[in-house]
Structure 1
């Protein structure tokens, strides 16, 4: 299945950024006006935990820690979710997504998109390198455009931002999720 390498790439991107969060940056603002770095990271950890729990049948654990302790929770959640991704043999199995039911493949791509976009969010929030691998962006953008009505629900994402026809994949993916590519902390 082509999804697993892209998911692993998204995990590496987020992992690189979370390990770069400085001691005073956990309360820094992010491109999502309602979230600081801690809340963003908790969201990502909880998504990884829910995915792994849904695949393995084990109960999902929500993280309750703050600050640097989130790095350890992230390491455990991403390891568990990566194992769950690798263990899937039938991606056509029905699975819940926030807007209803779909397949494990659709859910897996949604989780990969979420992780990719939030790796960028985290990079921008902490002033880290915000470029992402071209192959990851192209694959995630392709899936996101196909699933935009299912994935980008108004209660979870800001409205999409129109972009010119010839723009790069990162700018287009971020615009689909209601993010301005040139966002900077205030």
Structure 2
């Protein structure tokens, strides 16, 4: 399975979760302490163009200094998130997206494969966040989960230094691959609202 196919397969469960979020769930807490459901959807919309641009080797700065400075969830937020995720999948479905270097909204040049791995991780981890917050269950294919685990293992320390991940949550080695990913990102797989 190539990275280009994994992106679409990582996005599919997230899209299903988003389609099933009810408007009265937008204020529900998520496993990301700083985000409720609305703010997490806003986060996906905020960073989506930058992640899409990274695949095309275009620097697309986010619309503000932080995702808390804008609210992009007005109107038909579900359709907007779905459209943005489909654009990300389309952009990362091209083999050239994974080659060479790129930028993720800022001036720092990064290996494109590293950014692509971060995109896979975002799709799966935030899919889980939204699923847990809204009483749904995220189903991730084994090969997708394995690839995300490999990527998060490589970037966990950097993610914690950047504040993207919390302190590692110990998870038994016998746990599912997704649960081990969650622990690496600072999430408790047993989290409940």
Which TM-score applies when normalising by structure 2?
0.84
Farther-moved stretch of structure 1 (129-138 vs 62-71): 62-71
CA distance in 1, matches of 2:5, 2:168: 27
Q: Which structure 1 segments of 5+ residues have no match? A: none
CA distance in 2, matches of 1:170, 1:109: 15
Please show how residues 57-136 of structure 1 align to structure 2 within 5 Å. 57=58, 59=60, 62=63, 64-66=71-73, 69-89=76-96, 91-96=98-103, 101-136=109-144
The count of corresponding residues between Structure 1 and Structure 2 is 184
Please show how residues 1-186 of structure 1 align to structure 2 within 5 Å. 2-56=2-56, 57=58, 59=60, 62=63, 64-66=71-73, 69-89=76-96, 91-96=98-103, 101-185=109-193
Runs of 4+ in 1 over 6 A off after TM superposition: none
1:177–1:59 Cα change, 3 Å: closer
1:52–1:171 Cα change, 3 Å: same
| 1:76 shift after superposition | 2.0
CA distance in 2, matches of 1:22, 1:122: 11
Maintained 8 Å contact 2:92/2:98: no
Maintained 8 Å contact 2:45/2:72: no
Maintained 8 Å contact 1:141/1:172: yes
Q: Which structure 2 segments of 5+ residues have no match? A: 64-69
- SS of 1:89's equivalent? helix
CA RMSD of aligned residues (A): 2.3
